[in-house]
Amino acid sequence: MIETSGDEIGKTQLVQYAQDLHRTYEQLLAKNKELEILEKKKNDFLEMILHELRTPITKVMMAAEIIMSSRPIDKKARLPYESLKKGIKKLEYVISEIALAAQQSHDKAPVRRGEVLLSALIKRLKVDVEQFITTRKQKITFSGLSRDIAVKGNPMRLYDAFFNIVQNASRFSKDGAEIKIRVKREGDFAVVEVIDRGIGIEKSKIGLIFGSFYEDVDISEHHSGDFEFKSSKLGLGLYISKKIIEKHGGSISVESKVGKGSTFTIKLPAAL
Ligand SMILES: Nc1ncnc2c1ncn2[C@@H]1O[C@H](COP(=O)(O)OP(=O)(O)OP(=O)(O)O)[C@@H](O)[C@H]1O
Ligand SMILES: [Mg+2]
C-alpha cells in the first residue's frame, strides 16, 4: 500500500487548482475574442445600415425642398411638408447618434489636445439646459465656476458628454426637482459632479448603463423625448459620454440609490 503524506495531497491539489485556473483563463480568452468579433460585426452592420439610410433620406429631403420651392406654392402642402421635415430631422438625429457611437467604439485616434476651460464649458451648458430645466420646473445650481480649471481636449466632444449626463439628471428626476453641478479640482484632476435626487439606479444595473443601446425600461414603455420625465432615445448617451471621457484620459463613475438619486462623477486630467 502506498502512503501519501499530507504535503503530497496539498501539492496535488495545488497542481489541480493551477490547471483549473489555466483552463478557465483560456476559456475567458476565447470568450473575449468571440465578443470582440461580435462587437466588430455589430459595428460593421450599423455602419452599413447607416450608409444605406443616409442616401434615401437626403434624396427625400431634396425632393421635398424642390416641391416646396416650385411656384405657385400649394398651401395645402405646407403642413405635410413641415411634418415630413420634422420626421427627417428625427431620422437624421438617430443616424448621427448611432454613427457617433460606432465611431467612438472603434476610433482609437487620440483626441485633439487644445486647452479647454471647464468653467466656460459648463456656463455654456447652463444656458443650453435652461430651456428643459424650466419646462420641467426644475432647479439647477452650479458651484465652483468662479475658478478656472482647464483640461486638454476637444471642447465639442466634452460638451456632448456633459450635456447627456445633465439631460439624464433632468429626465430621470421628477418635475420641480433640484440638480446640482459641482466643479472642483482634486490634485491633478478636474472633477465634475452631476447630482440629482431622481429615481436612482438599481445596483445590478450600474454596470449596464454605460453599455450601448441600454435603457432601463421595458421596450413597450419606451417613449422618446428630449426632456420629459423618464423619456429616452436610443440608450446611447452614457455609452458615448464614457468613450469620450476615457479618450480624454478621464473616468466616469456613478453612485446611486433607488428613489434617492444619483451622482455621476467625471474626472479629467487637469491641464498644468
Ligand atoms: N441620472 C440618472 N438617474 C436614473 N437613471 C439614469 C440616469 N442616467 C441614466 N440612467 C439610466 O441609464 C440608461 C442609459 O442612459 P443613456 O444616457 O445611455 O441613454 P438614454 O438617456 O436612455 O437615451 P439617449 O441618451 O440615447 O437619449 C437610461 O435609460 C436610464 O435608465
Ligand atoms: Mg441619455
Confidence of residue 107 (pLDDT cuts 50, 70, 90): low
Look at residues 72, 106, 140 and tell me which one is the last residue of a structural domain. 106
Ligand 1, residue 237: give the atom nearest the CA.
Answer: 25
Contact 154, 192 (CB under 8 A): no
166 shares a domain with 240: yes
Q: What is the DSSP letter of 270?
A: B
Q: List the CATH number of the domain containing 66.
A: 1.10.287
Q: How far is the CA of 56 from the centre of ligand 2 (A)?
A: 28
101 shares a domain with 129: no
- The pLDDT of residue 3: 58
User: Which of 238, 239, 262 has most ligand 1 atoms within 8 Å of its beta carbon, as the pocket-test mutant?
Assistant: 238
Residue 242 located in a structural domain: yes
Q: How far is the CA of 226 from the centre of ligand 2 (A)?
A: 9
Residue 139 CA to residue 166 CA, distance in Å, equals: 12
Count of CB atoms within 10 A of residue 120's CB?
13
Helix axis angle for 237-247 and 78-106, nearest 10°, is 40
Confidence of residue 109 (pLDDT cuts 50, 70, 90): low
Look at residues 58, 74, 106 and tell me which one is the last residue of a structural domain. 106
Residue 11 CA to residue 207 CA, distance in Å, equals: 38
131 shares a domain with 223: yes
pLDDT digit string (tens) for 187-239? 999 999 999 999 999 999 999 999 888 877 776 777 777 778 888 778 889 99
Residue 249's DSSP bridge partners are none
Parent domain of 170: 114-269
- The pLDDT of residue 71: 72
95 shares a domain with 168: no
User: Which of 96, 100, 138, 172 has most ligand 1 atoms within 8 Å of its beta carbon, as the pocket-test mutant?
Assistant: 172
Q: List the CATH number of the domain containing 125.
A: 3.30.565.10
118 shares a domain with 95: no
C-alpha cell at 103: 465611431
126 shares a domain with 75: no
pLDDT digit string (tens) for 141-195? 999 988 889 999 999 899 999 999 999 999 999 999 999 999 999 999 999 999 9
Query: In the chain, how many domains are there?
Result: 2
Residues with CB under 6 A from ligand 1: 164, 168-169, 172, 196, 198-201, 209, 214-216, 232-239, 262
Residue 3 located in a structural domain: no
163 shares a domain with 83: no
For the cut 70, the answer to whether the pLDDT of residue 249 exceeds it is yes
Q: 112: which residues sit within 8 A by CB, 6+ positions away?
A: 153, 154
87 shares a domain with 180: no
pLDDT digit string (tens) for 8-63? 778 889 999 999 999 999 999 999 999 989 888 888 888 888 888 888 888 888 88
Cis peptide upstream of residue 110 (ω within 30 degrees of 0): no
Look at residues 76, 106, 136 and tell me which one is the last residue of a structural domain. 106
pLDDT digit string (tens) for 66-104? 887 877 777 788 888 888 888 888 888 888 888 888 777
Lookup result for grid cell 455609452: 239
85 shares a domain with 33: yes
C-alpha cell at 165: 449626463
